[in-house]
Structure 1
Amino acid sequence: MDRFVSTFINKIDAKGRVSVPAPFRAILERDGFQQGGAGHVYCYPALDSPAVDAGGERLARTIDGLLAGLPDYSIERDELSVALYGISQVLSVDQDGRIVLPESLRAHAGITTQVAFVGLGEKFQLWEPGQFERRRAEAQQKVREHLKLFGAGRRSGGDSGGGQQGARE
């Protein structure tokens, strides 16, 4: 299955247009999010970061799945619907592979002259490049810390097994 991977940095022109990276456009096309011959992208402010979440039909199906797990007419379902669909924007991809990034989405992410397109597997995010670099460094540091914990857990796993066996006797 196709995945959005890698990071691409593109410039925004004076009209707010930015080129969607060709590998991302190809995935969106294969994902089937086409209307009237022009591609489209779902976009909404990320819930937990100064970024924009984006994707095609696969992203919409993922959101539908999240909502399906909540009771109809529940407050939780309504809140999630508002947070994901209520503020989503469907952006058209023009014949040159560009989208117009609305001011509201740019403001949320602090995007001004350049956009970092960041692949996250089934979706991608749009970031202000400097903000993304800080986020990337933070994520890599956290992964290193987790790897240390996993390594320590494996080394001590044999010791704790022996201790537990002794405690049962």
Structure 2
Amino acid sequence: MAVFLSTYVNKVDRKGRVSIPAQFRQSLAKTSAPSTVYLWPSLNHQALEGADQDYLDVLSESLESPDLDADERDMIETFIFGKLIPVSSDAEGRIVLPKELAEFAGITEEAAFIGRRKTFQVWEPEALKAHEAVLREQVVRKDISLSQIVAKASRGAAGRSGEGA
């Protein structure tokens, strides 16, 4: 499964082509379908979500869980699998943004790719800046820190390992 890191802003040409960031391409090269990415409209933002085939396989398998609410399953199947578009890259690592997806995200001249570990998002750059400003305010207001997140995860892992004892 690919790992997508960092943020890149790339030009969109008049044919709707945009280069996948080199770091993303390097990560995709290690996957089962290195020249294909899957894009769909974000459930929560005026942006696109993207992933590789391996991630979609894991997501699909997760939908088989009996613990998953039927309404949640229906939403994911309809709004992710029902709306995603496979996009192949050319020899230069460019993809053509599907017109309906570009319009949804307001992407015209530039596209901002932001890595989110196992997935990525594609934004209109100014919309991404506004989104990041809102998130930064939330981080400050909630006093979120990396050390708190690591400590919380460590406590959770310790609790889970002690459950079977």
Correspondences of 1:1-169 after superposition (within 5 Å): 3-34=3-34, 39-70=35-66, 74-147=70-143
5+ residue gaps, structure 1, are 150-169
In structure 2, how many angstroms separate the alpha carbons of the residues matched to 1:127 and 1:79?
Answer: 22
**TM-score (norm. length: structure 1):** 0.78
The count of residues paired between Structure 1 and Structure 2 equals 146
Deviation at 1:91, TM superposition (A): 0.1
Equivalent residue letter for 2:43: L
Aligned residue in 2 for 1:167: none
Equivalent residue letter for 1:78: D
User: 1:58-110 CA deviation, whole Å, 9 max, x = no partner?
Assistant: 320342144122589x4542332111111100000110100000111111111
**TM-score (norm. length: structure 2):** 0.80
Deviation at 1:50, TM superposition (A): 0.5
Larger Rg: 1
In structure 1, how many angstroms separate the alpha carbons of the residues matched to 2:66 and 2:29?
Answer: 30
In structure 1, how many angstroms separate the alpha carbons of the residues matched to 2:2 and 2:28?
Answer: 9
5+ residue gaps, structure 2, are 146-165
Could you list the structure 1 runs, at least 4 aligned residues long, displaced by more than 2 angstroms after superposition: 69-72, 74-79
In structure 2, how many angstroms separate the alpha carbons of the residues matched to 1:88 and 1:10?
Answer: 22
In structure 1, how many angstroms separate the alpha carbons of the residues matched to 2:125 and 2:110?
Answer: 7
Equivalent residue letter for 1:8: Y
Contact 2:33/2:52 (8 A) holds in 1: yes
